[in-house]
Amino acid sequence: MLDATPLTEGWILRYERRELPAAVPGCVHTDLLAAGLIPDPFLGRAETEVAWVGRREWTYEVDLPGARSGSGAAGGRDRTDLVFDGLDTAAEIRLDGRLLGSVRNMHRSYRFDVTGTSGRLSVRFASAYAEAEAVRERLGDRPNAYPEPFQFIRKMACSFGWDWGPTLVTAGIWRPVRLEHWSTARIARVRPLVTVEGTTGKVELHVDVERAAVEAGLRLRARVGGVDAVAEVEGTSGVVRLEVPGVERWWPRGYGEQPLYDVELTLYEDGGQGLDTWRRRVGFRTVEIDRGADEHGTGFTFVVNGERLFARGVNWIPDDAFPSRVTRERYRARLTQAADAGVDLVRIWGGGIYESHDFYDICDELGLLVWQDFPFACAAYPEEQPLRGEVEAEARENVVRLMPHPSLVLWNGNNENLWGFRDWGWEERLAGESWGEGYYLGVLPRIVAELDPTRPYTAGSPWSGSWDHHPNDPAHGTHHSWEVWNREDYAEYRANVPRFVAEFGWQAPPAYATLRRAVAEVGEELAADSPGMLHHQKAEDGNGKLERGLARHFTLPEGDFDRWHYLTQLNQARAVATGVEHWRSHWPVCAGTIVWQLNDCWPVTSWAAIDGDGREKPLYHELRRLYADRLVTLQERGGALVLAVVNQAGEVWEPAAPRLRRMSVDGEVIAEFSVPGAAVGPRAVAEVPVPREVEPAGAKEFLVADVDGLRALHFPAPDREVPYPRPEFDVEVAPGAVTVTARTLLRDLLLQADRLDAGARADTGRVTLLPGERVTIGVTGWAAVPDEAAVRRALFCVEPAR
């Protein structure tokens, strides 16, 4: 039976004339950091101090233990392979000076025959810049969104920096490496096709075998759900087919359970000796995208097990600029945060990586649908060699590698490249040169159709479905809404109803404690425009867009960082709420929103709901409200207000009669109505007209709608014009809780618990209290219960203009 020896100990990294201990898996930056030779690039402006790392060659070395040799069973011979699950990126692998091979793709695994040899193993990494620039020189330049050559090397694109990420071009053995010892034959590849008809699950295991003994007779035995099947290996391949009666279907979270079935495949000789085993978990479900044309355009609706769903999504970027540091526990923490916020779909964005099995395993368990981009983003990618062969090889490997996971429901060709070709001036600059269209409309759909016909493919995001429509036409297919953040007020999200919003978002700084650690504690001032803050703001004119976004609603808080910090975080939550509420209220015309973005890879002002230290921003708590099964929102329809009652649960919702109150900001109820309630069907939206008598008139009034414990608010004027009373409230502090009782209107009250203790977290985001109302906010992680004065300093709400 095949056995493996992990190669995790004894590695060294050659640095100038020194030898440093090296962690494998790991990377150059983390090894240098552990040795105290570079500053932490996440703190202050140290990122610029380590830029030299990406311009050097680096060599990892270890003594390779002796490989076993001798006669195996059935006349076979023993074999030892050196297996790398991931090398970042361009490298030569040598054993005692003998070249085993050269590699140039971070997204692939590699295997070398080292049977009967031992000695000094070295992995010499070229500078990723040198590799990319050499390919660019050979193939000619191509346009991209950032001034770095990331599209000329098959490496995580955001290593070269992004509008939320640092430029930290590293190298290293970023995934596990091992020696595999085997005799006669081994399982080289398993391509599982998993389908379901009624209550019968069907599994086809298409198996490729590598032989050391050509004459050996080989068989395959598979078992799943108590069902066994056997098949012969003919040459180097075989197919095992199983039908499993009475299976339970796998569902997205909120739609049902997530039953998973263990599959075990064994390769053995005719005499019965086991040679190799492959094990995975699968789930039985169907998935398609309804892209049918209708009176609104061309749809894009996920259909799982025949159930049409509004996708409540978030975009995912690599959770660390050095992805070798992301553990299974960290994946679980972050993805559990997503599930707890009501998310049911995670899009793995195309400037990152194919994540490890740990990521998809956890999504399988949590019921999180996965939309997987192929790694192409925001650039024109050459289609010539050496890149074309690498693209095909990596796609083939990763499609097969990820096929067992029921959570994976969509392959997507690229991020924004089809849009970029049409709108970003690429077509003229390219002058006929290749730019990636052949990948997205040719190579990749062909590979998916050949290897994984159980899942849909789309050429890109955004993509209207064909060149007959603009790639980012909101009426057709998927849409990215970035004009609002870049140039407009977030109220403009209500200007249209896209069929599926695959990206939109609004920036805000990270949590206060995160900023203190990353900026203030290394000697930088906490001010919106201080050098340290600006270094941790990577978006073009990012702070200018933040301030223009604030100015449309608030009087800008000159020189008051704490107030600026609160208002920018509040504006982020409000902006995303404006979009999601509007689009959810238009289901089924709009069939999903994927917020940009869930997470960060370092401490930075960005669009994330969870910052680079893992702290939830107010947006995170807002997502819990926006993505709940039941949502109420006040929307305009034809110049009049309606109360949209959204029910994404699987059962009928019969809410109590909605209570509508027209109020003054001083707390007076001017008019009140209880409008007739109506049952809202499962996965449906109902609209209740708002009587004219309760529509607010002018800046001094607002509308409150309460339905079964849910609340919607409508203020007809921007905050800077609203004569809010000076906030007055009482505070009670107890272990694990803060209770606030309002004596005046408190709009968007927020407790920033990490101001009390860097480890403290609140379980509630922004909340508006009417006079006499109270809220209890749960708090965990503080070392000691703070006094009332400290709590008051950590409480913020909208105040009258100063």
157 phi and psi angles, rounded to 5 deg: -60, -40
* pLDDT for the residue 677: 74
Q: What is the pLDDT of residues 500-533, one digit of tens each?
A: 999 999 999 999 999 999 999 998 889 999 999 9
Which residue reads 């969870």 in tokens? 610
pLDDT, residue 675, reads 84
Which stretch of DSSP H or E encloses residue 789?
Answer: helix 788-793
Q: Is the pLDDT of residue 71 over 50?
A: no
Mean per-residue pLDDT for 351-372?
A: 98
3-state secondary structure 281-350: EECECCEEEECCEECCEECCEEEECCEEECEEEEEECCCCCCHHHCCHHHHHHHHHHHHHCCCCEEEECC
Helix (H, G, I), strand (E, B) or coil at 391: helix
Residues 92, 227, single domain; the answer is: no
509 assigned to some structural domain:
yes
* pLDDT score at 255: 97
Q: Is residue 292 part of a domain?
A: no
Each residue of 707-761: pLDDT tens digit?
Answer: 999 999 999 999 999 999 999 999 999 999 999 999 999 999 999 999 999 999 9
Residues 171 and 188 both lie in one domain: no
Q: What is the pLDDT of residue 197?
A: 97
Same domain, 256 and 318: no
Mean pLDDT of the chain: 96
What pLDDT score was predicted for residue 68?
Answer: 44
pLDDT of residue 70: 43
What is the DSSP secondary structure assignment for residue 675, as one 8-state letter?
P
In this structure, what token pair is assigned to residue 306? 């025949």
Domain at 457, CATH number: 3.20.20.80
- Both 85 and 172 in a single domain? yes
**94/163 same-domain check:** yes
Domain harbouring 146, CATH code: 2.60.120.260
* pLDDT tens-digit map of 80-109: 999 999 999 999 999 999 999 999 999 999
| Four-CA torsion 320, 326, 329, 335, nearest 10 degrees | 50
pLDDT of residue 65: 84
> What pLDDT, on a 0 to 100 scale, did the predictor assign at position 72?
39
Task: Check residue 475 and report its DSSP letter.
Answer: T
Over residues 573-593, mean pLDDT: 98
Domain identity same for 650 and 704: yes
Cβ burial of 509 (10 Å; 0-12, 13-18, 19+) is buried
3-state secondary structure of 619: helix
DSSP string over 579-612: HHHHHHTTTTTS-EEEES-S--SSS-BBS-SB-T
340 shares a domain with 327: yes
Domain assignment of residue 303, yes or no: no
Per-residue pLDDT tens for 205-240? 999 999 997 888 999 999 999 999 999 999 999 999
Domain count, the chain: 5
Pair 611, 600: CB distance under 8 Å: yes
pLDDT score for 130: 98
Peptide bond into 462 cis (omega under 30): yes
pLDDT at 603 (0 to 100) = 98
Q: What is the pLDDT of residues 630-665, one digit of tens each?
A: 999 999 999 899 999 999 999 999 999 999 999 999
Would residue 564 count as lying in a domain? yes
In order, the DSSP letters of 92-160 are EEEETTEEEEEEEBTT--EEEE-TT--EEEEEEEPPHHHHHHHHHHHH----BSSSS-GGGSBS-GGGB
Domain check: are 151 and 241 in the same one? no
Picking from 178, 193, 222, the residue at the C-terminal end of a domain is 178
Residues 265, 396 share a domain: no
Q: How far apart are alpha carbons 689 and 698 in whole angstroms? A: 20
Q: Is 119 left (phi over 0), alpha (psi -120 to 50) or beta?
A: left
Q: What is the CATH number of the domain that holds 262?
A: 2.60.40.10
Q: Which contacts qualify for 257-261: CB closer than 8 Å, 24 or more apart?
A: 258/283, 258/364, 258/365, 258/366, 258/367, 258/406, 259/283, 259/284, 260/364, 260/365, 260/406, 261/201, 261/224, 261/225
Question: How many alpha carbons fall within 13 Å on the CB side of residue 403?
Answer: 29
Final residue belonging to a domain, choices 720, 748, 782: 720
What mean pLDDT do residues 665-684 have? 92
Q: Is the pTM of this model over 0.95?
A: yes
Distance linking the first and last C-alpha atoms of the chain:
76
**Percent of the chain scoring above 90 in pLDDT:** 94
What does the pLDDT read at residue 54? Answer: 98
% helix, strand, coil for the chain, step of 5: 25, 35, 40
Band of pLDDT at residue 314, cut at 50, 70 and 90:
very high
Is 359 within the bounds of a domain? yes
pLDDT at 69: 44
Length of the chain measured in residues: 802
Report if residue 297 sits inside a domain.
no
Residues 681 and 638 both lie in one domain = yes
Examine residue 74 and state whether it is found in any structural domain, yes or no.
no
Q: Coil, helix or strand for 672? A: strand
Would you state the pLDDT for residue 73?
34
What ranges in 403-476 are assigned the alpha helix state H? 417-423, 426-430, 437-438, 444-451
For the beta sheet containing 274-282, the strands, ordered from the edge strand earlier in sequence to the opposite edge, are 227-232, 218-224, 261-269, 274-282
Q: Which residue is associated with the tokens 């090296």?
A: 22
The answer as to whether 333 is a domain residue is yes
At 16 the pLDDT is 83
Clarify whether residues 419 and 544 are in a common domain.
yes
What pLDDT sits at residue 541? 97
Using CA atoms, how far apart are residues 717 and 738, in angstroms rounded to an integer? Answer: 31
Average pLDDT over residues 107-124: 96
Give me the domain span that covers residue 32: 3-67+81-178
How do strand 592-595 and strand 311-316 relate by DSSP bridges?
parallel
Tens of pLDDT, residues 151-189: 999 999 999 999 999 999 999 999 999 999 999 999 999
Specify whether the CB–CB gap between 672 and 703 falls below 8 A. Answer: no
Percent of the chain exceeding pLDDT 70 equals: 98
CA triple 126-127-133, angle to 5 deg: 110
> pLDDT confidence of 397, banded at 50, 70, 90?
very high
What is the maximum alpha-carbon separation in the chain?
A: 93
β-sheet bridge partners, residue 207: 190, 238
Whether residue 49 is predicted with pLDDT greater than 70 in this model: the reply is yes
Final residue before a domain boundary, out of 146, 178, 210:
178
pLDDT, one tens digit per residue, over 401-427 is: 999 999 999 999 999 999 999 999 999
**Cross-strand pairs, 439:** none
pLDDT of residue 617: 98
Q: Are 277 and 328 in a shared domain?
A: no
